[in-house]
Amino acid sequence: MTSVIDPKTIGKPVRQRRHIRTLTGYTPETDASGKEKWPRGDETVWKTNMRGVDADVGDITKSVVNHVQTSLARQAYNLDNLGAYQAAALSVRDNMLVNWNETQLHYTRKAPKRAYYLSLEFLMGRTLDNALLNLDLKSQYKDGINQLGFSLEDLLEEERDAALGNGGLGRLAACYLDSSASQDLPVWGYGLRYKYGIFQQLISPEGNQLEAPDPWLDNQNPWELPRIDVNYEVRFYGQSERLSEGHGRALWTGGQEVLAVAYDVMIPGCNTRNTNNLRLWESKPKRGFDLNSFNAGNYEGAVESSNSAAAITSVLYPNDHTTFGKELRLKQQYFWTAASLADIIRRFKNLGKSINEFPDYVAIQLNDTHPTLAIPELMRILIDEEDLDWNFAWQIVTNVFFFTNHTVLPEALEKWPVPLMEHILPRHMQIIYDIKAVSNTNTFAARIFLQAVEKKFPGDRERLARMSLIEEGFPKQVRMANLACIGSRRINGVAELHSKLVQTTILKDFVEFFGVSKFGNVTNGITPRRWLDQCNPELSKLISSTLKIDKSVWLKDLYKLKDLVKYAADKGFRAEWAAIKQRNKERLAHHIETTLGFTVNTNAMFDVQIKRLHEYKRQTLNILGVIHRYLELKALTPALRKKVNPKVVFFAGKAAPAFFKTIRLIVNVARVINADPETKDYLSLYFLPDYSVSLAEVLIPASDISQHISTAGTEASGTSNMKFCLNGGLLVGTVDGANIEIAEEVGEENVFFFGHLTPAVEDLRYQHMYHPVPVDEACPPLANVLNQISGGLFGDGGVYEPLVNTIRQGDYYLVTDDFDSYIRALAMVDEAYLDRDEWVKKSICTTANMGKFSSDRAIMDYAQEYWNLEPIPVGKD
């Protein structure tokens, strides 16, 4: 069944009229003779029905059944939950499609400046529930699905999360797409359509992380629109021959050519008809099957080209510790940026504008360093294909790109070996060497870059070495962060502290060279549509009824939650708030029991840390704190244990190989303490495998406290801290990232801070390196915990020695220095939790003051202060 109807065909074939009647429920008027009168010029009525504004339950059931029979080729009486989900999703997609087409047509007519968000990850989560809420169709579909004999809740569970991301970087990108559509901003996302994504996480009986492919595309994905006609050729390897002296044109030939084929994912806005787009690229061979090789008996050679091309978009973050993995990851980044730029330029050229107007119509946001190859790629297009002068091309490039930095860790700044770049992207390596020599220095006249640096800072050879695009060594490395700084119009961090640290540490040289005006801050945000309304519907309903405003209003102006503060003194409101939290705990406990078989004490405090595993995020500190609590409980008499707050601790997150031992320790500590008859009623621990957006949606509303305990000065921002606080969970954390701004908004009395501050970190690391003090002297409680681990309390102690030694020898992330303070903070949590009435007040005040952390605010900061973008609402000319 065709989902998109061309209004020009209305009134012509009878078959098309039947299709419209089935799809929309539109019933035409009849004349005196009974003949149907179908509209030809004005299609407002049936288009309104297609948008779902006037859709009733009967329309919905007809639409779903129609998709069962035509799209799925099944019978309604022989349908399982998966089939019903797919049919319902296709029906919802019909509603989105009309808005999507209208939005694209509106943007084409208005020809506004557009922004393009390039991110290697888009952690979208499940789509059906989010789409129904944004379209305001959930209640109608729930009734319609019930009439068909299914439960909407069951169908929602059939959808598997799209495996397009790993952690905060990808979830931030997803929130920004949601907010862009909801704020009527003309913003598209560009990413890769990974076949398997990151990986499906399994935990072995011994506690080891096992990685399996994530087959999220095994079933039909109803949310994507294949655009087989939208494809671009992307070249790798070959030779690049300069056609003129200096920095002029070159001819790049030979090598491997791969097709980038587009798949579109619609992004509906909330309470608006604007529906934006996420375009994902899949890699396919230009010439597929080699019949000559096959006929010659070379069966492997016959499919070699096909397999090589398909591998580019097989998995997210291939292991780059091998030569093959490193090469594949670089090819991924270029493939994605090259296809995206080709698409952006094609769309710009359709406007009929001169190429020198490109920055007036296009802004491209680089989400971290992964898309930085777009800078030399745009230079290649402008010089080699558009035949522009180098200076003019560079002027365009440096007014189009914007760069978001996501780290203050020097080791996390991306670099690529020069020999690898020369092998895979010979033309781009030429351009990078040219950029190294020539760059814009706040004037439109190109100057010798390093000479300009030396002129401003005479004799400072170390500065020259630090600012160079090429890091000397064996092999030489291309510094992608430096390239992003030189080639972007503006650079931003993602929290106030992070942005200041970026400007005073890893990018200090560039700040001093270009000036501070090129550097700014946009504190991260989260979409309240998914992270309150969707994941915590009861709380959303309570907020709307209490404030006496429709949720569509406060969901797009989160500052309106501030009025909840006055209700914190209302005993009845506090009781409702607490009851919702309790039911969210029971929902999580039910999920764990049905998926893992564990029974969770829902009368306990729920303490949650959910993040990808890394040393700086300090899951190690958390599990060591759990062990310390267990040892203290064991030392208490039974009478004293009864006075202790029962606590359930939850971990979730995926790990790179370097952090497998942390997961193993968590799982084996859980195995011991959950089975201990003396303590299991007062402390239990669970590691929930295969962390995802949909799992977070169950965990976050259930939390009483959440832990954000990175070493001060190492977490750029964090967004999970915002999600927990928006749902009334209190924050335990260090004075780091966005924790600081959250405390400023919700009040430090509602946050449990601990640990050394950022200015002290480097001095403490220096002491660990040159004047080490044994852990036994520096922190006896921690030394006792480490000794228990080494002694075999949680299994073979030798297995954990590499992990334990990171603390005993060096302790770069200051676990020893912060441990006592951390334990005191948790004791303060226990004390505060004893007064449940005051605790609920803290919870209410925390949610009420989270207005700043909406991604709507963040995306408007980008639009106004960086991209110079204006809202273009559909239907409001």
Give every CB contact of residue 650 below 8 A, 6+ residues apart in sequence: 606, 607, 608, 609, 610, 685, 686, 687, 688, 699
Q: Residue 846 catalytic?
A: no
Sequence-ordered strand ranges (E) for 418-488: 438-440, 446-448, 470-471, 477-479
Helix then strand count (H, E) for the chain reads 38, 26
Considering 247, 279, 498, 611, which one is annotated as catalytic? Answer: 611
What's the rounded Cα separation, in Å, for the pair 62 and 26? 12
Quick check: helix, strand or coil at residue 367? strand
* Whether 482 contacts 468, CB under 8 Å: yes
Given 489, 617, 841, 842, the catalytic residue:
617
DSSP sequence for 85-109: HHHHHHHHHHHHHHHHHHHHHHHHH
Describe the crossing of helices 168-182 and 128-135 by its angle, rounded to 10 degrees.
Answer: 20
From the CB of residue 501, how many other CB atoms can be counted at a distance below 10 Å? 22
With CA atoms as reference, report the closest residue to 20 among 480, 48, 833. Answer: 48
d(CA 648, CA 462): 52
Give the separation between CA 186 and CA 167, rounded to whole angstroms: 25
Three-state DSSP class for residue 813: coil
> How far is 565 from 842, CA to CA, in rounded Å?
10
Q: Under DSSP, is residue 220 helix (H, G, I), strand (E, B) or coil? A: coil
Q: Could you give the dihedral angle defined by the CA atoms of residues 821, 827, 832 and 833, in that order, rounded to the nearest 10 degrees?
A: 130
User: Helices marked H in 638-738 — which ranges?
Assistant: 638-641, 660-673, 693-702, 720-726
Q: Which of 406, 628, 629, 661 is catalytic?
A: 406
What's the N-to-C CA distance of the chain in angstroms? 32
Catalytic residue, from 629, 723, 841, 857: name it: 723
Q: Annotated catalytic residue: which of 719, 758, 816, 847?
A: 719
Q: Please confirm, yes or no, whether 617 is among the known catalytic residues.
A: yes
DSSP state of 410: G
Distances in whole angstroms, Cα of residue 217 to Cα of each of 159, 458, 839: 11, 57, 44
Q: Around 231, how many Cα atoms within 13 Å sit in the side-chain half-sphere?
A: 15
Q: Which residue in 518, 551, 612, 768 is the catalytic one?
A: 612
Task: Name residues whose C-beta falls within 8 Å of residue 645's C-beta, 6 or more positions apart in sequence.
Answer: 604, 605, 682, 830, 833, 834
Q: Coil, strand, or helix at residue 565?
A: helix
List Cβ neighbours of 280 (8 Å cut-off, separation of 6 or more). 122, 164, 190, 191, 192, 193, 224, 262, 263, 264, 265
User: What residues act catalytically?
Assistant: 406, 611-612, 617, 719, 723
